[in-house]
Structure 1
Amino acid sequence: MTSQLPAFPRFVFSVFEPISILAGTIGAVFTPEWFFSEQIPALTNTSAVNPPINANSRLVTQQLGNTYGVAALVGIAVLYTTSEIKVVRNYLIALWIMDIGHVVITYLALGHERAMAVGQWNAMTWGNIGATVFLFIVRSLYFLGLFGSEHQKSRSSLGRKAL
């Protein structure tokens, strides 16, 4: 299916996004203390060691990582197995809506001062806001057709290839 998408969105949605989600999976599952403590960056640069987290925080962080893993697998499954552009577009619409929610929730948790202090953002904030806004913009431009149209394959040409 990914061959039906224009080149740039195809790369972003089927390579960059799954890899970045899997990176979140690895961070949350295997280094939950780091992942948890990096969610809200300090307003000043500190090199403090990640404090230990309690069992509840570890469980929630690792479950979030597991959810990221499922999200990556669903994306790979949709983008690499369906031949229906409508399915891909609906999948991307769902992610577009989730992009908005992800940024809003992060903004509310950070508070206005931290959210606007871009120079103080850590890698986690760049992922939660920066990468998500980038994906939102690419999805929006794709929906507007600014990357060109999908390469629709007719059912008859698909049938001939199978013969």
Structure 2
Amino acid sequence: MASQLPAFPRFIFTVVEPISLLAGSVPAIIWPDWFISEQLPSSVIPTVATTAGSQVVAQQLGNCYGLLFLLGVAVLYSTTELKVVRNYLVALWIADIGHVVITYLALGHGHSAAVGEWNAMTWGNVGATVFLFLTRTAYFLGLFGPVGKSLASVEKKAQ
């Protein structure tokens, strides 16, 4: 199915996004203390000791990122239906909004606007997510050009 997407969104959704999901998954599972301490820049809250509960939550979040990686690869590389891909991308589009809003609420308006204070994790949580959101939006609006027909519909017409 990935071959049916225009080139730029295909590269973003099938290469960049899966890599970013793994990049979020691995440290959350392997180094939960570091992952937790990096969620907000130190200018927002000082580093505090993590609890066993917060470590489990971070590792579960990492597991969810891993699940999203697997779902993305499964959907984008196995389905022949554009409708399935579109619905998958709509779900991610909605989740992008929630991801940014949750981070914004934790940072507060002042720290959200102080982009120069952001650490790498904040750039991932906000910057990368907004980029993916805008790419999905542009795809939905057809700004990357026409989307190819699904392989299933081409096969049906050939019969």
Unaligned runs of 5+ in 1: none
> What amino acid does structure 1 have at the position aligned with 2:27?
G
Task: Describe the shift of the 1:33–1:156 C-alpha distance in structure 2 as closer, same or farther (beyond 3 A).
Answer: closer
Shift of 1:150: 1.1
Counterpart of 1:145 in 2: which secondary structure? coil
Counterpart of 1:65 in 2: which secondary structure? helix
Structure-1 residue corresponding to 2:22: 22
Shift of 1:43: 2.1
Task: Describe the shift of the 1:157–1:27 C-alpha distance in structure 2 as closer, same or farther (beyond 3 A).
Answer: same
Structure-1 residue corresponding to 2:149: 152
Would the aligned equivalents of 2:81 and 2:150 in 1 still touch at CA under 8 Å?
no
Shift of 1:153: 4.4
> What amino acid does structure 2 have at the position aligned with 1:5?
L
Shift of 1:113: 1.4
Identity %: 62
Shift of 1:158: 3.0
Structure-2 residue corresponding to 1:112: 109
Give distance in 1, aligned partners of 2:153 and 2:101: 45
Structure-2 residue corresponding to 1:41: 41
1:1-163 alignment runs, 5 A limit? 1-43=1-43, 52-153=49-150, 155=152, 157-158=154-155
Would the aligned equivalents of 2:93 and 2:133 in 1 still touch at CA under 8 Å?
yes
Give me the TM-score of the superposition, normalised by structure 2. 0.92
Give distance in 1, aligned partners of 2:20 and 2:151: 33
Give me the TM-score of the superposition, normalised by structure 1. 0.90
Would the aligned equivalents of 1:33 and 1:51 in 2 still touch at CA under 8 Å?
no
Aligned residues: 158
Task: Describe the shift of the 1:75–1:64 C-alpha distance in structure 2 as closer, same or farther (beyond 3 A).
Answer: same
Would the aligned equivalents of 2:80 and 2:151 in 1 still touch at CA under 8 Å?
no
Give distance in 2, aligned partners of 1:62 and 1:149: 40
Task: Describe the shift of the 1:81–1:155 C-alpha distance in structure 2 as closer, same or farther (beyond 3 A).
Answer: closer
Kindly report structure 1 stretches of 4+ aligned residues shifted beyond 6 Å. none
Give distance in 1, aligned partners of 2:27 and 2:141: 34
Q: Deviations over 1:103-159 (max 9, x none)?
A: 001100111111111001001000000000000000000000010111114647436
Shift of 1:19: 0.5
> What amino acid does structure 1 have at the position aligned with 2:97?
I
Counterpart of 1:66 in 2: which secondary structure? helix
> What amino acid does structure 1 have at the position aligned with 2:6?
P
